[in-house]
Amino acid sequence: MKPISYFLRADADHHSHSNKGWDRMIGLLPAALIIICLVAAAGVASRRGWSTKPGGAAASAPTTDQVESELITLRPFGFEPAEIKRPAGEVVFVISNRSHQQDVSLTLSRVQGAMLTGKVKDVGLKKGQVNWLDRFNLPPGDYVLTEASHPEWKCAITLTPR
């Protein structure tokens, strides 16, 4: 049985040329995978507060000019993670909107028990805006991140004393 070819070719030279192109692409695949892995590792390292300076080993403690970050993803069912517990101090909250909502209205509030005691920040993400990041230096306490159209969507944030 003759194999079915899904490529149309005008002559044999064209076919051999296209094979060389595939050979080059396949040859570049390992290099592309290595680059992707290095970029991903750098992202994880910076999220964890590790040093990613060239020539240096990963530091056991963040340097003074580094700020830790927390990634919070808004999904069609709510926030992920639903809870964050971390030391108080400077932090960058990175909110990634993957909810498929056109307009999103986020509020970060301080809470005491079950009562909201004050808004820290309100932000609106318009159509096409999928990420919001902001730097905060919040005191220890309890906070909640909510979305206005979905009051059941909450991310509880507990900041503990250092």
Report pLDDT for 127. Answer: 82
Chain segment 117-160, per-residue pLDDT in tens: 889 999 998 888 889 999 999 999 999 999 999 999 999 999 99
Q: In this structure, which amino acid lies at residue 68?
A: E
pLDDT tens per residue, range 64-109: 568 899 999 999 999 999 999 999 999 999 999 999 888 899 999 9
Q: What one-letter code names the amino acid at 154? A: K
Measured CA angle at 124 (ends 121, 127), to 5 deg: 160
On average, the pLDDT of the chain sits at 75
Q: Which residues contact 50 (CB under 8 A, 6 or more apart)?
A: 58, 59, 62
